[in-house]
Amino acid sequence: MKVEYLFYLLVFPGLLFTGVVGLLVGWVDRKVSARFQYRVGPPLFQNFNDFFKLLGKETMIVKQSVHWLFIAAPLVAFAALVLLSTMIGSALFYQQNIGGGLIVVMYLLMVSSVMIILGGSSTGNVYSSIGAAREIKLLLADELVFIFVCLIPIIKSGYQIDLVQIAGIQESGGAFIRATSGIIGFILGILCIQAKMTLPPFHIPEAETELVEGPLMEYSGPPLAFWKLNHFMMWVVYPFLLVLLYLGGFKSEGLGILWFVLKYLAIVVVMIIIKNTNPRIRIDTALHFFWKILTPLGIIALILSVLGA
Amino acid sequence: MGWYNKRLAKSIWVFHVSASPCNNCDIEILDLLTPYYDIERFGIKLVGSIRHADVLLLSGIVNQKVGPMVQRIYQQAPKPVFVVGVGTCPSSGCCFNDSYNISQNREEFIPIDLYIPGCPPKPEAMIEGVVKLVEVLNG
């Protein structure tokens, strides 16, 4: 039993699978973005080359930084993401509950944002601190809506917080996106993912043009490689979670694998389209968007789901 | 190191150092990123932070005032890092060669690995220069 868990963690839904698929999906993102701009785009294994190149570079530690936090932040975020991908992946592919329910997932998803804040503010760089401060505000903006996004499937599955139970109820009773509250929740979920991954239009913390990657500015070498890998792993973790919560999960028999890949790619493509067609918004606009527009929508969806619609 | 050098050759991240240029080469460097030339197909990316850079694109004469700054930027870059001098200015000083302020011995501020002459060099010439660097890395 223990050996199986180690396999889950290191190979199939965990580290190796999420890393490789994440780097490949990161390539899809870069390629599709390039085609949007009438460019050719990078070759297939570009992200692998970037990752291994960064692993071999020199690590520079800023003198006035908090050294242990500076190094620990990307590794803790990486560990949290590996654990998350194992939990979500084993609930999807093996119908096994490892480590806890949706509440643990919600907390672990916050860890990577918190680590970006800590790592960015540990360097002592002005741009990094501004980026970290903006990340805090963005976290404040999107967290409440993300809780609604997780609450709607809990209510619709009859107050289950177990990921396997949520997937199982959808398998017998139809995916939650068929209901009105499910549709609203799914749209909110995609927008929340966009903000949590700091993709455009919500790339406020790592604004390339004025903050030069914000919290990641002082990172070089292997820690930067792990930040980049974390970002690519989020391309797997967040859409898998949405597929599990709203689109009915994964069935191994028949055309189940094909359906699952299609659902996953649909979410990724919608995210890339949103990313490429929107300019960056200000931090106050983001707060306004999440608190005054999406939060009432989330409350409406919650009420609808309690009423059974 | 052969395997690592091949990875490095396929993913060169470029940082742009302006050492008192006339802005002519800088505009041509930005041309490289436009859809027409699209240098991302070689894995080359323009980064904003010196900590992420593999290649420093140095444009302009290195004069006495900006020289120590350029040296400091070079020291802040994580090694291995390569320096490419873009335009005639870093190699010969161009029309500013007789200026009182120019640093005659700019190699002591920053070791330049590759020169791309031209005032300004065409984007094709810059791509050729980068390809030469990639060939050296690939062995």
Tell whether A60 is within 8 A of chain B (Cβ): yes
Percent of residues, chain B, with pLDDT higher than 90:
0
How many other CB atoms are there within 10 angstroms of residue A257's CB atom?
A: 13
Specify whether domain B6-138 bears CATH 3.40.50.12280. Answer: yes
Is residue B117 reached through a cis peptide bond, with omega within 30 degrees of 0 on the bond before it?
A: no
Measuring CA to CA, which residue among A103, A70, A71 is closest to residue A84? A103
How many other CB atoms are there within 10 angstroms of residue A215's CB atom?
A: 31
For chain B, which residues make up each domain, given as ranges?
6-138
The pLDDT value given to residue A296 = 92
How many other CB atoms are there within 10 angstroms of residue A277's CB atom?
A: 10
Within 8 A of B51 by CB-CB distance, chain A residues are 60, 217-220, 224
> Nearest-5° angle of CA A51, CA A52, CA A56?
115
Q: Is the pLDDT of residue B75 over 70?
A: yes
| Interface ipTM | 0.87
The pLDDT value given to residue B79 = 82
* Residue ranges in chain A whose pLDDT is less than 50: none
- Chain A, 206 to 225: residues with Cβ < 8 Å from chain B are 208-209, 212-213, 216-221, 224
Q: Which residue would you say has higher pLDDT here, A108 or B96?
A: A108
Grade residue B1 by pLDDT with cuts at 50, 70 and 90: low
- The pTM (predicted TM-score) of the whole model is 0.90
The pLDDT value given to residue B12 = 86
C-beta separation of B54 from A215 below 8 A? no
Q: Is the pLDDT of residue B82 over 80?
A: yes
What is the nearest CA distance from B137 to chain A, expressed in angstroms?
A: 13
Chosen from A53, A123, A208, A224 to mutate, greatest number of chain B CBs within 10 A:
A53
Q: b or e along A285-308 (b: 16 or more beta carbons within 10 Å of the residue's beta carbon)?
A: ebbebbeeebbebbeebbebbeee
The pLDDT value given to residue A245 = 86
